[in-house]
Structures are given as structure tokens and as C-alpha cells.
Amino acid sequence: MASHESLTALQEGMPIVFGGNRVARVSAALAAAFAPGDSLLVVQSTGELLHVPAAERALVEQCVDRATAAFAGLGSVPDAAITQFFSAFAERLADDGLWQQIEAVNREDVAAASARGRSTTRLVTSAKMRADMIAGLRGWIDAPSRRGERIETVEHDAFRVELMGAALGVVGFVFEGRPNVLADATGVLRGGNAVVFRIGSDALGTARALMQLALTPALKEAGLPEGSVVLVPSASHASGWGLFSDSRLALAVARGSGPAVATLGALAQQAGVPVSLHGTGGAWIVASEHAREDAFEAAVFASLDRKVCNTLNTCCIVASRAAELVPAFLRGLERAGKRTNPSTGAFKLHVAAGSEQHVPPALFEQRVSVQRATGAVTEPLAAALPVAALGEEWEWEQTPEVSLVVVRDVAEATALFNQYSPHFVAALISSEPGEHAAFYEQVDAPFVSDNFTRWVDGQYALRKPELGLSNWQYGRLFGRGGILSGDTVYTVRTRYVTR
């Protein structure tokens, strides 16, 4: 039997085994920062070494302790009390006086984030965000709960077996710069679940204001355990790593995209915790030889209203129609640029190698002002892109940014999607029903459309607040769809009943 010792120190160059047969080396900075009681987390897929200070780990454990205790108490809380919570929370957000206080804190968050060169697109608590939060909360007032629901009954001569919906447990959320998620994700309470949030430094002040002024008072008014919703009072990445490594979580949800989300997902999976996340966002549109110019242009325009995970990122146009459809694509881009930034109307285009001849040469020479998180920069409007980079997600502020590739046919576009995309959102613009049937069968995506891409949103498509979206970048999901909502966070218990 193997013996176990506590790790109390690290030395520079120390080998750390990962993935079974690979080795990572401890850096000088990590060795100097590590102290007795700290934890070292190793991402087995990449060898990334993550330092979680003892204080951060203890803080996260206390938060999960509170949520675990609250989950036990929620078992005896009636559905009416949970309904009262959603109503009270919505009423507080609708209170202009309280909202002005929240907005004041949010302005401070936005100013601080801007000063650090951070993106603030999803941080600002706009009137639309407020309205969506309120509508989402009110949507849960009359929503049914899965807990206690008889899902299936199997009859036998002397007994019956019942499959019953039940609460899942404590759900962990990590999200960056998105204050609305704090309200959206309380939907897990509808089914009797508890939740622990960790939010990044950009939006932490806004989240605290929402908790203090609206969410916590609503919990108290409804008589729910205060630990039903817990905000981790830390903006450090280590607190997120510690949270997703806590095996007491029933589900780990990361909102966002990129390497940070992939790391969080890997940590949760290593701890045996199911995850809902997508490591990369970005939707694809394919325009076939049967595409109408006006329909294609409209789909491009509608898919670029703002940068989120389901925004159009890569466009494929069939070569036989490139002469008509490339100009339609550019018109849609231009209209989208004028909408998001009327002062410049600029857009940014990446053209895959081999497709350059289908784009007006002047676009490669023209220089435009592109709004980045760090400020405005002057760049060529169009630039060449390796085909292997078609799946790269463009993070833009007010300047729509899209990749373009011209293909032989829809089959080639589908193959490119299946090879390079994050396996997320695929749309085909075509007036030929047979093409849509073949595309649906062959494209490896959980979300498929015959129109724009931004429909992939729980509140828009399903009329339910969305807790998270999952792609198939790391494999298909077991037993559920890619849109995670409050009423899909449940488990099933099996009961034997004697006749």
C-alpha cells in the first residue's frame, strides 16, 4: 500500500508527473510562492501547475460548507417559498432606488476594468440586462419543479417502481464579468438545489451589490436558508480552481470560453464532478449554392449584434456563388459594424488561404480603426488566415470580426466545421430542403440552424433563463441538451411501492 505525506514545499525544477508518463517542472516563481498548507493542482491533460494558497482553499471550503448545509435544509422547503424568493428578487431589481445603487457600483467596476485594458462589453448593467434579469426571475415563478415529479412508472403484479425527479445538490458557478449570471443561475433553486458563485475581479463589486441589496434579502423574505446562494468573496483564479476541485459539487458550470474555462473543466472532471462548459465559442454559417442573397445577408447581420459565444465567427461560401454571396456577406458585415459602432462602422475580416481572390483586393490595403479591449488600434481591414486557424474565436468589442473561407460545396464546409470548429453552432443558408437534411445529419454540432446563429440562447429559444451553454468540443453530453437551465439540473431517484 502506498504511503502518503503532505506537500510542504516545492523546489525549482522539481519534476511533477502528469498524464501518466509526462513530466512538468516547477518554476522558480511557483517554488517561491508555495507555503506549507498550500495545494498544488495538476491539470492532467496539459501539465499546468496551479497554486492554491491555504487561505483561498479554506475560504472556498467554507462557502461549499454553507451551501451543503443549505441544500439539506432546502429539502423541507415548499415550492411556494422558492417561488416567493424569485418574486422578491425580481421586485428588488425592479426597484429604481435599489437599481441606482447597483448601477453606481457597476460604474466603478467598469471604470476599473477599462483602466486595466479589460473588455467591458458584458460587464455594463444596461437597461436590457436589467430587463432580462427580471424577466428571467419572473419566468421561474410559475415554472414547474422536477423534484417530486413522477417521471415514469413501471407496473408489476404486486408492486410498482417509480422514477422520481429529485434535487441534484450544490452547483458551482465560475464566470467572468457577467453580473446577469448571478441572477440567471439562481434558477437552480427552482428544483431545490443550492449554488456557489465565483466571479472575477471585473464584476465582483457589482455581484456583491446584487447580493447585498437584492438577492440575500429575497432569500430571507422567502424563508430560504441563507447559504442557498453563496458568493465566494475572492476574485483570485485560485478560488475558482479550488471551487471546481471540491468533489462535493454536484455540477460545475463555467460561463465564458478560452483556456481558462478549459482548465476549470479539466479540474472538475479530475475531481469527478460533471461539467457544463465550452472551451471555445464562435458560430459558423455556411452559404450554399441555393442561398438567397437577401436571406444570407440578413443572417450575417442578425448574428453580429454583439460578441458572445454564439456570435458568427466563421463563414463558408460555396465557390459557384461567391460572386454574388461574398458581396452579400460584406454588406451584412458593414451593416453590423455601423450598428455596433456608428462612428466608424468598421469591421475586421480574416480570409482563409486560397480564398483571397474572392475578396476585393482593396480590402487588404484599406486600414480601419478597430476597437479592442485595450483601445482603438489601426489595422488592415482584411488579413490572410491559415485554414487551420478557422476555429480561432475572435474576441471583439465594437468592431465585428469574422473569418471567411470559400469552399467547393456544402460537404467541404461541413468537413471543415467538423475538423476545426469547437463543435458548437452551425447554420446553413439554403432554399433546398435536401441540403438541410444532409447538413443536419453530417455536421457534428449540438445546435443547428437554417438562419442566424444568435438564436442559441436559453431565454430566447426556450423562454427559460440560460445557466450555461455546452459545445461538443470535449465530447457529446450524456442525457441532456447543450442548453443548461434551472429545470434541467436534477437527478432521478427510484422508488419501490407495494400495492
Please report, for residues 352, 359, 371, 398, 456, the alpha-carbon distance to residue 384 in angstroms, rounded to integers and kept in the order given: 6, 11, 20, 21, 29
Residue 264 is placed in which grid cell?
Answer: 476549470
Q: For residues 181 and 393, which has the higher predicted lDDT (pLDDT)? A: 393
How much of the chain, in percent, has pLDDT values that exceed 90? 74
Long-range contacts of 79-85 (CB under 8 A, 24+ apart): 79/145, 81/222, 81/223, 81/224, 82/145, 82/189, 82/190, 82/192, 82/222, 82/224, 83/140, 83/141, 83/142, 84/221, 84/222, 84/223, 85/186, 85/189, 85/218, 85/219, 85/221, 85/222, 85/224
Q: Given this model, what pLDDT does residue 136 score?
A: 86
Q: Which tens digit of pLDDT belongs to each residue from 14-67?
A: 999 999 999 999 999 999 999 999 999 999 999 999 999 999 999 999 999 999
Model-level pTM? 0.85
Task: Categorize the per-residue pLDDT at 113 as very low, low, confident or very high, splitting at 50, 70 and 90.
Answer: confident
- Hey, is 160 helix, strand or coil? strand
Q: Given this model, what pLDDT does residue 2 score?
A: 60
Q: Which tens digit of pLDDT belongs to each residue from 13-28?
A: 999 999 999 999 999 9
Mean pLDDT for 439-445 is: 96
Q: Which tens digit of pLDDT belongs to each residue from 366-381?
A: 999 998 877 889 999 9
Domains recognised in the chain with CATH numbers: 15-52 (no CATH), 77-280+483-498 (3.40.605.10), 283-452 (3.40.309.10)
| pLDDT(257) > 70 | no
Mean pLDDT for 418-444 is: 96
Q: Given this model, what pLDDT does residue 177 score?
A: 75
Q: Residue 275: beta bridge partners?
A: 252
Q: What one-letter code names the amino acid at 55?
A: A
Q: Given this model, what pLDDT does residue 1 score?
A: 52
| pLDDT(421) > 60 | yes
Do the Cβ atoms of 199 and 182 come closer than 8 Å?
yes
Place of cell 442525457: 479
How much of the chain, in percent, has pLDDT values that exceed 70? 99
Q: Given this model, what pLDDT does residue 175 score?
A: 84
| pLDDT(300) > 70 | yes
Identify which of 389, 391, 397, 329 has the alpha carbon closest to the alpha carbon of residue 124: 397
Q: Given this model, what pLDDT does residue 467 score?
A: 77
Q: Given this model, what pLDDT does residue 114 score?
A: 86
Mean pLDDT of the chain: 92
DSSP letter assigned to residue 392: P
Mean pLDDT for 333-345 is: 93
Task: Categorize the per-residue pLDDT at 185 as very low, low, confident or very high, splitting at 50, 70 and 90.
Answer: confident
Q: Give the DSSP H/E element, type plus range, for residue 229.
A: strand 229-231
